[in-house]
């Protein structure tokens, strides 16, 4: 059942393109992005190992239940509420960015808000389902889309347009000092493990994390491709002018004999699916965290009937997302995202260490 | 006895109430003539009684075919099921002489396979059981009888392998069968609706089949089979989406060919659901999606069409759906004529009249044909509906709407449960041996 | 009652959605090629020419119909907007695969144009870009005889699924915009001109710096450049051996280059490996020694390469990316300035290594 853990990891590492990670890194390409990537990989790997080994001690328990074992309820509630906001934000940024992207590339005449409402309704419906169902949707979404993404990435890396000289020029700047926002952006690729906070509930009691070495390898590969391929395509200078770096990179590719000729459309459709899946997973987790603040809350992974509270909470999420779109624009969204990435890094380190300490304590007590 | 029986039933000419005499004794017999085999009554009651080689009274006592009836309340029921009631010396016996009209050894028709068993289930429960028992000779096969329908009193058999069945599923099926409260029950489809319980469901979550090989395979996988008297179809539950996509021939034919066929089936599902919606979104929103040559030929063939693309789609889909519907109900000989007339002549004429584009004709026929590729009929019907919501969303949002619509379908499918088992789950076993996700029940 | 509320809500939603850019394909005019020239009018410096496809149900050679619209305007974006008033259907750039820049404009300044192209969402990065000579408008008026689809001839001339000519350098918008901003890699474009009314010739290549055309290569030079920069295999080579004319077809070519100091002098060393087959040669060549032929071919090839490279160097452009390689190999802040001082005086050395595979089907 290790594959269910890996799906989460893969999903988040793919979705980084939507969270402006390549854009942030490329902005700092001469001033510390490369060294930050190295440090990001290190931090990410350490966090993955710590968190998985901590979670392995609490089979079938989510983060709220683990924290409630050792800490006062009010503290856990505050913490969970805060985490819910973090999760909601991560996904809302993505879905809002995608609504704008659809507006740019697919339906230039349509109203972005109407598009967002459609996306939000679909994600909201999916997010209110039970945890088990959500996991299945994630699985299907990845099995359908991951091969296509890997194909596009592979095609990009193999393309003759890719200039290895440009990549080497940027890689030479490895000596520049790393910056915080770059480290935060780079380590985001590895952050899929944090979804275990909820999905650990699903894992069976005799579960063991296997093949953990795959996580850093896969993450590092995606991160390097994310950063270097656009540079190879658009040059060391030209790359900085684009807002949607990867959409433009995909547009530079051509499938000579494909049914869809322009890779861009394939890429956008696949990322639309991933965005929906990611938003669903994120909202579902945020929803469960909010629910865990309610005193009479009982965790349920596959309830036959959808509780009303699901609809209420996700409805609020959806409304807030639409509000977010109305109040921000592309520029503000990007700025907020880069700050959010930094906050996220620290929150995650905090959670991982907390749970890790609890797991050691529990082991000693037992 | 006969006096009381006359009171129990409404006035009916087909109820036979006779009094027989021989040298030693007098008996009364009562039966409903059309329900009984006259030969059997002659051979087992009238002839032995009148000839009287062997005392009929001791025959009644020794032969287990004559069952003693103590409860007056059961009389009605027994007679209605084709039993003969015999009164001798104040004791009532019943004798089963029912005559069941059914097709003798019916061939598989709905799900035919080139190889594999050609016999289908029978409308007679005994023959069906015979087929299943002989194909699944296991001591673990358990058969439970239930009766459903306050009026129809349909006997229903639940079959399962007692070692392999999932106890939670079995429990929930039992309680469902006990609590069903209807007057009439005749068809497996009816029972399916009652078992599922949801009023508005989009997908079938219970498999209905006529093939004994599918049934025995399901038994070996720990599923439960429900047989219904007077119905050639059995119900298999729990069922997953993938069961519906599985033709029995996939197990019989060459490996690579069947893998290819399975792939073909899934592709055609995707095509039949999305193609009309994609046509609208390509024609009306993103003509740049496909090759320029294709765009020009669509534009060229559409230039005569006066309506927007979605009206064109609705016209063609209306035509094809009515054609399919008509040819199902029509007798077989007329049916093929209807298809020819509709498919060839109408399609050609509609295109020449400039009502629809020639690309749209291709789209429609691909939609129709790929819909028939689905091996199980009930899923094929469900899938037939799925394209319409997608057409609706594509009118407003184009290609991105179609992608979102598909996502919602997948979420819906993943959320479905068939008796507590996930309906759509890739690489999941029904009864996993090792640990599986979602096994831990949190208290 | 609830039913009515539902229907009302559904209708309300539909009303909200209306007008989301629903536009049928037959209500769109596909722009298949866009030509941009410099006009004589000083207030309206740009002259835009749109080749619009007129789709027809019949698809056969010569059945393609196009409509040409042109306008002078102050800026490109405005011009496109104004052209909408000239036509009855919505203009759609989604299938615009060819951009022609008039020679005059290319010789002054192309940066504005490039900006516009990069900003528009519906302009494909994979579209091809070329210089039209003498101007883009007259080229778009050409109606090739065999054309099946509007604009097809131009698409096919560039794309790899049609003809693959060794004289044509294919430049896409995305590559052009990369080269236009990259330090150490300069843009280049094919030059198209027409011979008569019905066909195009694309056998010359223009080299540009970051602003305008600096040098136009002849057709032989273009082919040589394609071999050097693109490893273009479907090409041929002309040579002499002991007074005999030889033409060889290249079956495999591989080139790379190194920048380094040789004898205290900055030198670019190019190594070119080739496998060739004779296409035109005197009879009886099969029985001769091939090695001397190879050597003489090598020398001749190297000579013409150096001549081409020197010519490019003299124009102070760098389409092959020597500067980029230099930057990659020499990390440091001032490397770009260093290179700029080195390049005008750098020496070239070409090592050609031609291997003869055979003499074709006859001896």
Give pLDDT, residue A273. Answer: 93
Mean pLDDT of chain C: 82
Nearest CA in chain C to A237: C182
What was the ipTM of the complex prediction?
0.93
Same domain, B130 and B197: yes
Nearest CA in chain B to C31: B292
Distance from C198 to chain B by nearest Cα, in Å? 21
Distance from A238 to chain B by nearest Cα, in Å? 26
Share of chain A above pLDDT 90, in %: 40
Burial annotation B158-179 (CB, 10 A radius, 16+ → b, else e) = bbbbeeebbeebbebbeebbee
Residue A237 exposed, middle or buried by CB count within 10 Å (0-12, 13-18, 19+): middle
Tokens of C313: 């160097």
Q: Out of B399, B405, B442, whose CB is closest to A201?
A: B442
Same domain, B203 and B273: no
What is the rounded distance in angstroms from the CA atom of residue B317 to the CA atom of residue B40?
56
Tokens of C57: 């149900």
Q: Give the domain range for residue B150.
A: 125-239
Distance from B278 to chain A by nearest Cα, in Å? 13
3-state SS assignment for residue B141: strand
Q: Out of B287, B304, B398, whose CB is closest to C28?
A: B287
Q: What is the pTM of this model?
A: 0.88
CB contact under 8 A, B404 and A298: no
What is the rounded distance in angstroms from the CA atom of residue A80 to the CA atom of residue A67?
10
In a domain, B44, yes or no: yes
Q: What is the DSSP string of A172-222?
A: GGGGSPP-HHHHHHHHHTTGGGGGHHHHGGGS-TT-----TTHHHHHHHHH
Distance from C102 to chain B by nearest Cα, in Å? 25
What is the rounded distance in angstroms from the CA atom of residue A123 to the CA atom of residue A118?
9
Share of chain B above pLDDT 90, in %: 12
CB contact under 8 A, C97 and B293: no
Please determine, for residue B434, whether its predicted confidence score (pLDDT) is greater than 80. Answer: no
Using a CB-CB cut-off of 8 Å, the residues of chain A touching C159 are: 256
Share of chain B above pLDDT 70, in %: 95
3-state SS assignment for residue C189: strand
Give pLDDT, residue C17. Answer: 58
Q: Which of C26, C55, C123 should one mutate to test binding to chain B, selecting the residue with the greatest count of B CBs within 10 A?
A: C26
| Distances, alpha carbon B46 to alpha carbons A10, B32, B56, C81, C292, in Å | 81, 16, 10, 102, 120
3-state SS assignment for residue C200: strand
Please determine, for residue C282, whether its predicted confidence score (pLDDT) is greater than 80. Answer: no
Q: Out of B401, B411, B435, whose CB is closest to A204?
A: B435
Q: B140-144, C112-116, C278-282: which has the minimum mean pLDDT?
A: C278-282
In a domain, B33, yes or no: yes
- Tell me: the pLDDT tens digits for B284-333? 888 888 877 788 888 888 888 888 888 889 988 888 888 888 887 777 77
CB contact under 8 A, C178 and A234: yes
Same domain, B258 and B359: yes
The CA-to-CA distance between both ends of chain B, in Å, stands at 61
Same domain, B81 and B200: no
The DSSP H or E segment spanning B338 is: helix B332-340
What is the rounded distance in angstroms from the CA atom of residue B131 to the CA atom of residue B120?
9
Between residues B219 and B330, the one the model is more confident about: B219
CB contact under 8 A, B303 and C57: yes
Give pLDDT, residue B263. Answer: 92
Taking the Cβ of residue B306 and every Cβ of chain C, the question of whether any pair is shorter than 8 Å is answered with no
Report the alpha-carbon angle B178-B180-B186, nearest 5.
115
Report the alpha-carbon angle C149-C151-C156, nearest 5.
90
Same domain, B290 and B197: no
Last residue of a domain, one of B81, B96, B111: B96
What is the rounded distance in angstroms from the CA atom of residue B333 to the CA atom of residue B348?
23
Provide the strand spans (E) within A113-260. Answer: none
Tokens of C26: 């037959």
What is the rounded distance in angstroms from the CA atom of residue B163 to the CA atom of residue A24?
59
CB contact under 8 A, A108 and C121: yes
Q: Give the domain range for residue A7.
A: 2-365
Please determine, for residue A128, whether its predicted confidence score (pLDDT) is greater than 80. Answer: yes
Q: Assign residue C184 a region (left: φ > 0; alpha: ψ between -120 and 50; beta: otherwise).
A: left
* Backbone φ, ψ for residue A110 (5° rounding): -80, 160
Q: Which of A104, A166, A246 should one mutate to test binding to chain C, selecting the residue with the greatest count of C CBs within 10 A?
A: A166
Q: What is the DSSP string of A27-48?
A: HTTTTTHHHHHHHHHHHHHHHH
pLDDT bin (cut points 50, 70, 90) of residue B42 is: confident
Peptide bond into B416 cis (omega under 30): no
In a domain, B200, yes or no: yes
Please determine, for residue C99, whether its predicted confidence score (pLDDT) is greater than 50. Answer: yes
Nearest CA in chain C to B292: C95
CB contact under 8 A, C56 and B303: yes
Using a CB-CB cut-off of 8 Å, the residues of chain C touching A241 are: 118, 181
Q: Which of B286, B411, B420 should one mutate to test binding to chain A, selecting the residue with the greatest count of A CBs within 10 A?
A: B411
Strand partners, B160: B142
Strand partners, C349: C269
- Tell me: the pLDDT tens digits for B336-391? 777 777 777 777 788 788 888 888 888 888 998 898 888 888 888 889 999 999 99
Question: Which of A 224-253 lie inside 8 A of C, CB atoms?
Answer: 233-238, 241-242, 248, 251-253
Neighbours of chain B (3+ CB pairs under 8 A): A, C
Give pLDDT, residue C161. Answer: 61
Using a CB-CB cut-off of 8 Å, the residues of chain B touching C22 are: 284-285, 308, 395-396
The DSSP H or E segment spanning B53 is: none
Tokens of A326: 């109305």
Q: What is the DSSP letter of B42?
A: I
- Tell me: the pLDDT tens digits for A139-169? 999 999 999 999 988 888 888 888 888 999 9
What is the rounded distance in angstroms from the CA atom of residue B284 to the CA atom of residue C84?
19
Nearest CA in chain C to A109: C21
Same domain, B235 and B132: yes
Mean pLDDT of chain B: 84
CB contact under 8 A, B410 and A137: yes
What is the rounded distance in angstroms from the CA atom of residue A247 to the CA atom of residue C262?
44
Using a CB-CB cut-off of 8 Å, the residues of chain A touching B286 are: 106, 265
How much is the average pLDDT of C286-297?
Answer: 83
pLDDT bin (cut points 50, 70, 90) of residue B442 is: very low
Tokens of B310: 């979605």
Residue whose C-alpha is closest to residue C154's, from C16, C241, C35: C35
The total of structural domains in chain B comes to 3
Distance from B342 to chain C by nearest Cα, in Å? 24
Using a CB-CB cut-off of 8 Å, the residues of chain B touching C28 are: 287, 299
Using a CB-CB cut-off of 8 Å, the residues of chain A touching B393 are: 118
Give pLDDT, residue B443. Answer: 38
Query: Number of Cβ pairs closer than 8 Å across A and B?
Result: 123
CB atoms < 10 A from the CB of B9, how many? 16
Q: A117-121, B234-238, B240-244, C157-161: which has the minimum mean pLDDT?
A: C157-161
CA torsion sign for B116, B122, B126, B127 is negative
Q: B18-22, B217-221, B436-440, C71-75: which has the minimum mean pLDDT?
A: B436-440
Give pLDDT, residue B20. Answer: 84
Q: Out of B285, B410, B438, whose CB is closest to A132?
A: B438
Strand partners, C35: C49, C100
pLDDT bin (cut points 50, 70, 90) of residue A255 is: confident
In a domain, B245, yes or no: no
Same domain, B84 and B130: no
What is the rounded distance in angstroms from the CA atom of residue A213 to the CA atom of residue C269?
44
Peptide bond into A38 cis (omega under 30): no
CB contact under 8 A, C21 and A108: yes
Taking the Cβ of residue C159 and every Cβ of chain B, the question of whether any pair is shorter than 8 Å is answered with no
Report the alpha-carbon angle C290-C294-C299, nearest 5.
155
The total of structural domains in chain A comes to 1
Q: Out of C20, C159, C175, whose CB is closest to A114?
A: C20
Between residues B442 and B386, the one the model is more confident about: B386
pLDDT bin (cut points 50, 70, 90) of residue A42 is: very high
The CA-to-CA distance between both ends of chain C, in Å, stands at 94
Same domain, B255 and B329: yes
In a domain, B105, yes or no: no
pLDDT bin (cut points 50, 70, 90) of residue B440 is: low
What CATH number does residue A220 fall under?
A: 1.20.1740
Same domain, B392 and B268: yes
pLDDT bin (cut points 50, 70, 90) of residue A57 is: confident
CB contact under 8 A, C56 and B300: yes
Using a CB-CB cut-off of 8 Å, the residues of chain B touching C94 are: 286-288
Nearest CA in chain C to B287: C25
Q: Are C101 and C39 in contact (CB under 8 A)?
A: no
Tokens of A202: 């699903």
Distance from A246 to chain B by nearest Cα, in Å? 18
Q: Which of C9, C22, C125 should one mutate to test binding to chain A, selecting the residue with the greatest count of A CBs within 10 A?
A: C125
CA dihedral C280, C281, C284, C286 (to 10 degrees): -80
Please determine, for residue C223, whether its predicted confidence score (pLDDT) is greater than 90. Answer: no
In a domain, B291, yes or no: yes
* Backbone φ, ψ for residue C141 (5° rounding): -75, -15
Q: A141-150, B157-166, C4-13: which has the minimum mean pLDDT?
A: C4-13
């Amino acid at each position: 059942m290790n594959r269910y853990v890996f799906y989460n990891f893969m999903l988040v590492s793919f979705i980084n393109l939507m969270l402006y990670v390549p854009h942030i890194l490329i902005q700092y390409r001469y001033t510390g992005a490369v060294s930050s990537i190295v440090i990001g990989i290190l931090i990410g790997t350490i966090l993955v190992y710590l968190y998985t080994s901590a979670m392995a001690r609490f089979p079938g328990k989510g983060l709220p239940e683990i924290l409630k074992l050792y800490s006062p309820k009010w503290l856990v509630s505050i913490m969970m509420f805060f985490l819910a906001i973090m999760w909601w934000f991560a996904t809302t940024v993505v879905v809002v960015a995608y609504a704008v992207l659809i507006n740019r590339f697919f339906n230039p005449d349509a109203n972005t808000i109407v598009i967002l409402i459609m996306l939000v309704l679909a994600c909201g419906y999916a997010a209110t389902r039970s945890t088990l169902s959500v996991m299945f949707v994630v699985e299907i979404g990845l099995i359908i889309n991951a091969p296509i993404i890997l194909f596009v990435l592979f095609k990009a890396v193999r393309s003759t347009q890719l200039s290895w000289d440009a990549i080497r020029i940027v890689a030479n700047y490895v000596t520049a000092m790393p910056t915080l926002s770059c480290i935060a952006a780079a380590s985001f690729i590895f952050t899929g493990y944090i979804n275990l906070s909820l999905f650990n509930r699903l894992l069976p009691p005799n579960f063991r994390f296997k093949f953990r070495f795959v996580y850093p390898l896969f993450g590092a590969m995606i991160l390097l491709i994310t950063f270097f391929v656009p540079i190879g395509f658009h040059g060391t200078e030209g790359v900085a002018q684009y807002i949607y770096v990867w959409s433009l990179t995909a547009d530079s590719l051509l499938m000579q004999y494909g049914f869809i000729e322009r890779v861009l459309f394939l890429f956008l459709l696949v990322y639309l699916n991933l965005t929906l899946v990611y938003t669903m997973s994120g909202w579902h987790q945020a929803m469960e965290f909010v629910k865990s603040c309610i005193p009479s809350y009982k965790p349920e992974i596959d309830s036959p009937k959808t509780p009303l509270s699901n609809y209420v909470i996700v409805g609020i999420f959806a409304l807030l997302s639409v509000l977010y779109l109305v109040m921000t624009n592309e520029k503000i969204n990007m700025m907020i995202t880069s700050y959010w990435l930094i906050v996220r890094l620290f929150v995650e380190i905090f959670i991982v260490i907390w749970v890790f300490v609890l797991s050691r304590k529990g082991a000693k007590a037992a | 006895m006969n006096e009381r029986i006359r009171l129990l039933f409404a006035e009916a000419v087909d109820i036979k109430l006779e009094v027989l005499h021989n040298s030693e004794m007098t008996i009364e017999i009562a039966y409903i003539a059309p329900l009984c085999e006259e030969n059997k009554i002659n051979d087992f009651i009238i002839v032995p009684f009148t000839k009287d080689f062997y005392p009929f009274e001791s025959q009644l006592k020794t032969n287990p075919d004559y069952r003693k009836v103590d409860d007056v309340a059961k009389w009605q029921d027994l007679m209605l099921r084709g039993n003969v009631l015999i009164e001798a010396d104040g004791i009532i016996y019943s004798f089963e002489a029912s005559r069941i009209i059914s097709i003798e050894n019916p061939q598989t028709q709905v799900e035919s396979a080139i190889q594999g068993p050609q016999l289908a289930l029978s409308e007679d429960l005994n023959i069906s059981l015979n087929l299943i028992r002989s194909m699944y000779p296991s001591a673990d096969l358990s058969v439970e009888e239930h009766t459903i329908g306050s009026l129809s009193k349909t006997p229903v058999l639940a079959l399962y392998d007692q070692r392999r069945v999932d106890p939670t599923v079995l429990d929930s099926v039992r309680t469902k069968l006990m609590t069903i409260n209807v007057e009439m029950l005749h068809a497996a489809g009816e029972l399916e609706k009652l078992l599922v319980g949801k009023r508005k469901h989009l997908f079938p979550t219970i498999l209905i089949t006529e093939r004994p090989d599918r049934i025995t395979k399901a038994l070996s996988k720990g599923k439960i089979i429900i047989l219904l008297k007077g119905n050639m179809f059995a119900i298999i539950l729990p069922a997953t989406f993938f069961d519906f996509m599985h033709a029995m021939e996939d197990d019989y034919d060459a490996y690579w060919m069947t893998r290819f066929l399975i792939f073909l089936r899934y592709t055609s599902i995707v095509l039949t659901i999305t193609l009309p919606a994609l046509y609208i979104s390509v024609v009306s929103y993103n003509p740049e999606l496909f090759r320029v040559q294709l765009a020009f030929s669509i534009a060229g063939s559409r230039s005569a069409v006066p309506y927007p693309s979605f009206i064109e789609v609705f016209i063609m889909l209306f035509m094809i759906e009515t054609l399919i519907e008509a040819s199902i109900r029509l007798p077989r000989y007329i049916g093929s004529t209807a298809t020819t007339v509709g498919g060839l002549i109408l399609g050609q004429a509609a295109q020449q009249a400039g009502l629809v584009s020639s690309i749209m004709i291709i789209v429609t026929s691909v939609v129709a044909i790929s819909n028939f590729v689905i091996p199980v009929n009930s899923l094929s019907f469900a899938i037939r509906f799925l394209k319409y919501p997608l057409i609706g969303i594509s009118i407003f949002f184009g290609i991105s709407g179609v992608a979102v619509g598909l996502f919602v379908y997948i979420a819906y499918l993943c959320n479905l449960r068939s008796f507590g088992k996930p309906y759509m789950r890739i690489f999941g076993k029904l009864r996993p041996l090792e640990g599986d996700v979602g096994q831990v029940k949190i208290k | 009652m609830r039913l009515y509320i539902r229907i009302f809500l559904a209708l309300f939603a539909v009303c909200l959605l209306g007008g989301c850019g629903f536009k049928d394909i037959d209500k769109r005019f596909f722009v298949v090629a866009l030509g941009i020239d410099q006009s004589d009018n000083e207030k309206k410096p740009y002259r835009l020419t749109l080749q619009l496809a007129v789709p027809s149900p019949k698809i056969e050679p010569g059945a393609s119909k196009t409509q040409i619209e042109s306008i002078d305007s102050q800026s490109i974006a405005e011009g496109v907007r104004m052209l909408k008033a000239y036509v009855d259907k919505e203009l759609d750039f989604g299938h615009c695969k060819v951009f022609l820049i008039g020679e005059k404009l290319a010789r002054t300044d192309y940066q504005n144009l490039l900006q516009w192209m990069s900003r528009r969402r519906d302009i494909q990065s994979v579209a091809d870009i070329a210089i039209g000579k003498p101007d883009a408008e007259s080229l778009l008026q050409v109606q090739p005889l065999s054309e099946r689809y509007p604009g097809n001839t131009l698409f096919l001339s560039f794309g790899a699924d049609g003809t693959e000519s060794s004289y044509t350098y294919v430049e896409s918008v995305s590559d052009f915009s990369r080269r236009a901003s990259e330090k150490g890699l300069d843009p280049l474009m094919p030059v198209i001109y027409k011979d008569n009314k019905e066909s195009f010739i694309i056998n010359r290549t223009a080299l540009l710096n970051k602003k305008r055309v600096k040098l136009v290569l002849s057709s032989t030079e273009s082919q040589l450049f394609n071999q050097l920069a693109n490893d273009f295999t479907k090409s041929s080579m002309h040579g002499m051996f002991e007074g005999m004319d030889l033409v060889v077809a290249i079956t495999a070519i591989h080139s790379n280059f190194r920048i380094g100091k040789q004898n205290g002098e900055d030198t670019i060393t190019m190594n070119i490996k080739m496998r060739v087959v004779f296409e035109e040669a005197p009879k009886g060549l099969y029985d001769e020694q091939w090695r001397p032929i190879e050597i003489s071919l090598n020398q001749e090839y190297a000579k013409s390469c150096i001549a081409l490279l020197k010519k490019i160097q003299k124009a102070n452009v760098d389409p092959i990316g020597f500067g980029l390689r230099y930057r990659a190999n020499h990390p440091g802040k001032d490397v770009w300035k260093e290179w700029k001082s080195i390049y005008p005086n750098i020496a070239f050395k070409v090592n050609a290594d031609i291997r003869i595979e055979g003499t074709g089907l006859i001896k």
